[in-house]
């Protein structure tokens, strides 16, 4: 089990409840051109200047399923509980064919995170156990903390929901080491999350895609993560809820376009 004590949790909950400091500022920005035919929302937090930037701020407070973006927290829990020994912890493919070809072979924690392999993380979830999730998620302050959908399904368009604002708050507390995980666990997760490095600029992130139960077409897409730069860290969440191909891949493309427009990422990214 995770090494969590009452005093730590009390402090964690108090800090979560007062996450918005008196110095923080916020503004709304129109990113319609970047979203194009897609409907959705975007939130960015500039940690150095304690500034929030939002597209459709009201919707940024609305909770929906995290889909595969939950693999960020799932990876932390698996590492901290020693269910996964490290980024190269492997599980064998059971031979069941999946429509996503990269899933159809043995996976390590790193490879499964990269290709968003659902069966691998469902296997980890069974080993972690529902009671650990039920105890930990509300204490961390991850969305509604509801795991009643079952140990292999609660994050897959089921009971667990989270808003873009909450995704960003979770990520900033993670990187600030304000969550009940060891330094080794956090550093391993941040390494696994790394997508690209351009000079001193580091992009980390995770996509997530939801689909209707009777269709294989995407119905919701997420991209959440951070950019570390010499001038400070930025944390973001983009969620698509409609339009053409509202997938995690599309959410990532929109996010990278926005970050380039804001000169946080190089234009060629």
CA dihedral in degrees (260, 255, 175, 135; nearest 10)? 180
Tokens of 73: 């927290």
CB 231 within 8 A of CB 48: yes
Exposure string over 11-44, b if 16+ CB within 10 A, otherwise e: ebeeebeeeeeeeeeeeeeebeebbeebebbbbb
Distances (CA, A) of 195 to 35, 210, 269: 22, 21, 11
Residues 6+ apart with CB under 8 A from 263: none
Query: Which of 37, 39, 68, 219 is flagged as catalytic?
Result: 68
Is 68 noted as a catalytic residue in this protein? yes
**Residues catalogued as catalytic:** 68
């Amino acid at each position: 089990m995770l090494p969590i004590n009452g005093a730590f949790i009390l402090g964690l909950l108090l800090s979560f409840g007062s996450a918005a400091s008196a110095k923080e500022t916020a503004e709304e920005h129109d990113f319609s051109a970047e979203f194009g035919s897609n409907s959705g929302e975007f939130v960015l937090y500039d940690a150095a200047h304690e500034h929030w930037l939002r597209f459709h701020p009201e919707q940024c407070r609305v909770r929906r399923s995290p889909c595969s973006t939950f693999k960020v927290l799932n990876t932390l829990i698996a590492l901290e509980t020693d269910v996964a020994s490290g980024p190269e912890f492997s599980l064998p493919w059971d031979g069941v064919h999946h429509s996503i070809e990269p899933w159809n072979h043995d996976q390590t924690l790193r490879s499964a995170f990269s290709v968003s392999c659902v069966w691998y993380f469902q296997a980890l979830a069974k080993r972690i156990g529902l009671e650990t999730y039920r105890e930990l998620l509300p204490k961390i302050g991850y969305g509604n903390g509801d795991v009643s959908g079952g140990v292999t399904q609660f994050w897959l368009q089921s009971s667990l929901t989270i808003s873009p604002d909450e995704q960003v708050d979770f990520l900033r507390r993670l990187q600030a080491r304000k969550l009940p995980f060891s330094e080794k666990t956090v550093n391993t997760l941040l390494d696994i999350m790394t997508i690209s490095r351009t000079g001193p600029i580091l992009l980390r992130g995770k996509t997530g895609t939801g689909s209707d139960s009777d269709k294989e077409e995407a119905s919701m897409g997420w991209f959440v993560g951070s950019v570390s730069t010499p001038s400070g860290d930025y944390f973001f969440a983009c969620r698509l809820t409609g339009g053409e191909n509202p997938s995690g891949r599309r959410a990532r493309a929109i996010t990278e376009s926005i970050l380039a427009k804001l000169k946080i990422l190089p234009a060629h990214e």
